[in-house]
Structure 1
Amino acid sequence: MFFDFTPENNKDVKDIYGPGTADIHALTYDSRIVHRQTAFFCINGDHYDGHQFIDQAAGSGANVIIGTEREILYQSHLNHPAITYVIVEDAKRMMSILSAEFYAHVYQRMKSIAVTGTNGKTTVTAFIHQLLNRSGMRTGSIGTEKVRDDQSSRSLNHTTTPPPKPRISITFSTPFMRKALRP
């Protein structure tokens, strides 16, 4: 999918180095899974700053790198001028925006129920999931441990709920979850 990162066409972009447009085939904030034509987001976490992994992402085939640290992005641009470097105020916000666009706003075709609280979320979610499925509504759910549709489940391998936006969008757009969206 082609994206135009020029500031004139995107209010969240402060500046760019390199080409203004790019053909992106994947989105990630994990430099270990970058491959050709991936947009890599430099996200600050509890233990690491994604800007530390720019060279790894560039070497693995990222064609777009999005971050907040202008000088770091500029220095990397000098070494990899063919890559589009996008400077933004908030990389997580841009990750959310691009994920929604990249996965065709799949979440808009869903009805959502959120379960919050300190204890009992998994139990309540399982109860709602069973109740709706037995009532004839096809459902899907995302929890800390697994993703479920109306017939089966699979491990999510994530430690927080909800997972970051690209992971949610990927999950919702897979055949596994689309099955739950059928009328």
Structure 2
Amino acid sequence: MLTVEDILKASGGVLLQGNPTARIGELSIDSRTIEKGDIFLAIKGERYDGHNFIAEALRKGAVGIVISRKIKVKGKESIIYVGDTVKALQDIAHFHRRKFEIPIVAIAGSNGKTTTKDILSRIFSQRMKVLSSEKSFNNEIGVPLTLLRLSGEHQIAVMEIEMNNRGGISRLAALSRPTAGIITNTGHAHLRFFNSFDEIASSRGELLETMGEDGISIVNVDDAKKDLFFRKAKGKVVTFGIKERADFQGKITKDSGWATSFILNDAVEIKLSVPGHGNPYNALAAAAAATVFGMSLEEIKRGIEKFRPSPMRMEILSKGTLKIINDAYNANPESMKIAINVLASVPARGRRVAILGDMLELGVWSNIAHRNVGKLLASSPIDVLVTVGNEAAHIAEEASGHGKEVFICSTTEEAEKKIARIIKSDDLILVKGSRALQMEKIVDVLSSLPIFN
């Protein structure tokens, strides 16, 4: 539990009114979830300014507020003024993190962070109380919110770290102080914010640099940028991979499309019930980290085999004879290709349908990245393509004329209406696009069509 004095000390803020020794419940940035006794930190975001919700937070029982804009408040609640509430949130989280000596595993990479985190948390939870970051809480706000959930009952923490600028991962690693860091892979996610693929890889490697000589770096030996990560690692390096020799070696023994079995280090066969050729790598990364912290092969096997993906991440849904691959959470060039290959390779009763939205944050590379996806589709056994958004239209342009039905939609709403008319009961459907498009709404429409209920 924090006190007002703790927040002042951590953030360097100024107490405009209130009792510095007052204890508070939780620190919250969301007025909708405030509970009596909490303190509300007002963050100004792209769409909302938390300062506009201070009155609501106080009505719900907040005992204090942290602000970066001076506001008059009637009452005796504590008011703390800081120059930047986002930085204050990070400083408070760092202050809180230093109270606990528990190990933290931080995960960075272009793809597979959440899956790796969830598999590893599943393994650890067999023996330990685990703090795991919620959803994709991996940025300058999500990481400190995760750290603030640390309590004396936790024995280990697993969290994602991601940023869209140089130095961002360094800052988040510095405040979270990870014991071990995993780099899942290097892809083209967030390319808009960097000048080159090398810069993206270098930004991921900041995690390994920041940990120092005591940190344990867990690296994908099959990744194109592995040598860069080896150079950035200052402490022990543990490798995982399938193609190249690694400390944690996977050998694929069976791939049904829907699930993959592999032998780990010639010792134990593990069945991973999630489609996608990237997921065995995520399982191997989790196995490496689990072993570092003392988990047995039996526990690793059991944890991986019990793992099921989070919603909207290669989530398989069945509605009668209709089957949906719900991978709607986000998209970048690598994850889009993986998802298309899954759609092309798994068994299908009827048509294979790809409903694909824009891949955002690609900057000047957006056009060619979308066209490359279209070229992949042109040569794949996909029967129907529906694109959503202006950038995804380039996918359709490349895929047209190759014996496929192609429909171009500008918005998710337009796609919903189109899909309701063209989907058949035996279709196998992939839904994928960047987060901003909210492609899960299309999944909801598919699930509600009367012919499948």
TM-score, normalisation: structure 2: 0.29
- 2:4 is matched by which residue type in structure 1? F
How many angstroms apart in 2 are the aligned matches of 1:66 and 1:85? 6
Which residue pairs with 2:5 in the alignment? 4
Which residue pairs with 2:91 in the alignment? 97
Tell me, yes or no, if the aligned pair for 2:18 and 2:78 is still in contact at 8 Å.
yes
Look up the SS of the partner of 2:107 in the other structure: coil
Which residue pairs with 2:138 in the alignment? 161
Tell me, yes or no, if the aligned pair for 1:12 and 1:88 is still in contact at 8 Å.
yes
**What is the root-mean-square deviation of aligned Cα atoms in Å?**
3.7
- 1:166 is matched by which residue type in structure 2? L
Residues 37-76 of structure 1 mapped to structure 2, 5 A cutoff: 37-70=37-70, 73=71, 75=72
> How far is the alpha carbon of 1:127 from its aligned partner?
6.6
Q: Does the C-alpha gap of structure 1 residues 99 and 24 become closer, same or farther in structure 2, counting only changes over 3 Å?
A: farther
> How far is the alpha carbon of 1:54 from its aligned partner?
0.4
Tell me, yes or no, if the aligned pair for 1:24 and 1:63 is still in contact at 8 Å.
yes
Q: Once the two structures are superposed, what CA deviation does each residue of 1:93-128 show, in whole Å capped at 9, x if it has no partner?
A: 32233345567733x321x33322212334554676
> Which stretch shows the higher mean deviation, 19-28 or 40-49?
19-28
Which residue pairs with 2:151 in the alignment? 173
- 2:46 is matched by which residue type in structure 1? D
Q: Does the C-alpha gap of structure 1 residues 129 and 2 become closer, same or farther in structure 2, counting only changes over 3 Å?
A: closer
Which residue pairs with 2:15 in the alignment? 16
> How far is the alpha carbon of 1:6 from its aligned partner?
9.7
> How far is the alpha carbon of 1:50 from its aligned partner?
0.6
Tell me, yes or no, if the aligned pair for 1:27 and 1:99 is still in contact at 8 Å.
no
Look up the SS of the partner of 1:55 in the other structure: helix
Look up the SS of the partner of 1:173 in the other structure: coil
How many angstroms apart in 2 are the aligned matches of 1:115 and 1:103? 17
> How far is the alpha carbon of 1:137 from its aligned partner?
8.2
Name structure 1 gaps, 5 residues minimum. 144-155
Q: Does the C-alpha gap of structure 1 residues 6 and 42 become closer, same or farther in structure 2, counting only changes over 3 Å?
A: closer
How many angstroms apart in 1 are the aligned matches of 2:32 and 2:79? 19
Tell me, yes or no, if the aligned pair for 2:10 and 2:95 is still in contact at 8 Å.
no
Q: How many matched pairs?
A: 154
Tell me, yes or no, if the aligned pair for 2:7 and 2:92 is still in contact at 8 Å.
no
How many angstroms apart in 2 are the aligned matches of 1:96 and 1:4? 16
Q: Does the C-alpha gap of structure 1 residues 140 and 16 become closer, same or farther in structure 2, counting only changes over 3 Å?
A: closer
> How far is the alpha carbon of 1:68 from its aligned partner?
0.4
> How far is the alpha carbon of 1:32 from its aligned partner?
1.2
Larger Rg: 2
> How far is the alpha carbon of 1:37 from its aligned partner?
1.9
Which residue pairs with 2:188 in the alignment? none
User: Is 1:142 aligned with 2:132?
Assistant: yes
How many angstroms apart in 2 are the aligned matches of 1:99 and 1:161? 14
Which residue pairs with 2:80 in the alignment? 86
Tell me, yes or no, if the aligned pair for 1:12 and 1:89 is still in contact at 8 Å.
no
How many angstroms apart in 2 are the aligned matches of 1:60 and 1:31? 8
How many angstroms apart in 1 are the aligned matches of 2:59 and 2:121? 43
Q: Does the C-alpha gap of structure 1 residues 103 and 58 become closer, same or farther in structure 2, counting only changes over 3 Å?
A: farther
Q: Does the C-alpha gap of structure 1 residues 128 and 32 become closer, same or farther in structure 2, counting only changes over 3 Å?
A: closer
Tell me, yes or no, if the aligned pair for 2:31 and 2:57 is still in contact at 8 Å.
yes
Which residue pairs with 1:148 in the alignment? none
User: Is 1:119 aligned with 2:111?
Assistant: yes
Quick one: percent identity of the two aligned structures?
19
> How far is the alpha carbon of 1:164 from its aligned partner?
4.2
Tell me, yes or no, if the aligned pair for 1:31 and 1:53 is still in contact at 8 Å.
yes
- 1:165 is matched by which residue type in structure 2? P
How many angstroms apart in 2 are the aligned matches of 1:62 and 1:87? 16
> How far is the alpha carbon of 1:25 from its aligned partner?
1.7
Look up the SS of the partner of 2:80 in the other structure: strand
Tell me, yes or no, if the aligned pair for 1:42 and 1:50 is still in contact at 8 Å.
yes
Name structure 2 gaps, 5 residues minimum. 158-293, 295-453
Which residue pairs with 2:346 in the alignment? none
Look up the SS of the partner of 1:66 in the other structure: strand
TM-score, normalisation: structure 1: 0.64
Q: Does the C-alpha gap of structure 1 residues 49 and 27 become closer, same or farther in structure 2, counting only changes over 3 Å?
A: same
- 2:16 is matched by which residue type in structure 1? Y
